[in-house]
Amino acid sequence: MRRFLVAGNWKMNTDRESGTALASALAEKYGSDFNAVDVLVSPPFPYLASVVDVTSNSAVQVGAQNSYFEAPGAFTGEVANQMLKDVGCDSVILGHSERRHVLGETDELINKKVSAALENGLQVILCVGELLSEREAGQTEAVLKTQMDGGLQGVSAESMANIVIAYEPVWAIGTGVTASTEQAESAHEYLRGWLSSAYSAEIADATRILYGGSVKPGNAKELMGQPNVDGALVGGASLTADAFGGIIDAAVELASA
């Protein structure tokens, strides 16, 4: 039985005061005895350490939004996985569409980052997803295949225990347009099939696949209620404790159903 994961991606939002307040509110609501689903927040780099501090006695895990594949050294402006571990991070989001399409990250670069993060004991949330033009051209599954083949190249079956996949159709991110439950489930089913042929039925069955793209308290239960949707990667709605809490509560309801 896969455990739901509700992950917040704060992107380049919050400041020291609001980020700490948001994390504290979540830590209070989901204390160390909360065990129904996994909850994770991913603040910007400068606030990671203070968010780790205020969530340390709670169920809230903390992750980063990116990392570099090299060990600490002369790489101006980059952040090493070792540094993330050092400040108490549990995981890292890699391959997010904004990094692919705004910053120009390729599957090859993402793959190096995935391997390095795994080697350093971080859980990786690997994001994949098609552009609207690719969906309209009937290329959704081909794009997902390329991103999965590329992103997970060389990743061992053993390491898959630390991989979470996030399906995020690019046209649904920050747009208010959510994939229909059928569109989401069909992409998730494809991704699970990919995992099964690339690894094994057991690994496909155990790997969590999150949906991301305009998830809100109002649509979370329907989306996460699909058989192959194991949680959510939430951008905009993760920026208030009420909205993010509403999505976590929906996962809790589904987990206890």
CB 32 to ligand PGA: min, Å:
27
Binding flag, residue 63, ligand PGA (CB under 6 A): no
Give yes or no for residue 235 binding ligand PGA (CB under 6 A).
yes
Asked about 101 being catalytic, the answer comes back as: no
* Residue 168 annotated among the catalytic residues of the structure: yes
Residue 8 sits in the site that holds ligand PGA (CB under 6 A):
no
Report if residue 111 touches ligand PGA, rule: CB under 6 A: no
The one among 126, 233, 251, 254 contacting ligand PGA by CB under 6 A: 233
Contact with ligand PGA (CB under 6 A) among 174, 180, 200, 242? 174
Stretch that binds ligand PGA, among 69-77, 101-109, 157-165, 232-240 (CB under 6 A): 232-240
CB of 6 to ligand PGA, least distance (A): 12
Q: Are the C-beta atoms of residues 255 and 61 closer than 8 Å to each other?
A: no
- Beta carbon of residue 64, minimum distance to ligand PGA (angstroms, whole number): 14
Phi, psi torsion values for 77, nearest 5 degrees: 90, -5
> Kindly report the CA angle at 209 between 66 and 9, in degrees rounded to 5?
35
236 is a site residue for ligand PGA (CB under 6 A)? yes
Interior angle at CA 94, CA 201 and CA 234, nearest 5: 90
**CA within 13 Å, CB half, 155:** 30
| Footprint on residues 196-215 left by ligand PGA (CB under 6 A) | 212-215
**Binds ligand PGA by CB under 6 A, chosen from 9, 20, 66, 207:** 9
CA distance 162 to 164: 7
Nearest approach, Cβ of 72 to ligand PGA (angstroms)? 28
- Total number of residues that touch ligand PGA (CB under 6 A): 13
Q: Token pair of 136, please?
A: 């309209």
Nearer to ligand PGA, 99 or 192 (CB): 99
> Residue 44: exposed, middle, or buried by beta-carbon count in 10 A (0-12, 13-18, 19+)?
middle
CB of 222 to ligand PGA, least distance (A): 15
Residue 209, classed as helix, strand or coil, is strand
Lookup result for tokens 């990094």: 99
**Widest Cα–Cα separation across the chain:** 51
User: What span, in angstroms and rounded, lies between the C-alpha atoms of 44 and 16?
Assistant: 10
* Separation of alpha carbons 94 and 87, rounded Å: 18
Please tell me which residue in 98, 130, 168, 185 is annotated as part of the active site.
168
- DSSP state letter for 87: T
Q: Measured from the CB atom, is 134 or 199 closer to ligand PGA? A: 134
Distance CA 243, CA 235 (A): 11
- Shortest reach from residue 237's CB to ligand PGA, in Å: 6
Active site residues per annotation? 96, 168
Instruction: Give me the residues that bind ligand PGA (CB under 6 A), please.
Output: 9, 168, 173-174, 212-215, 233-237
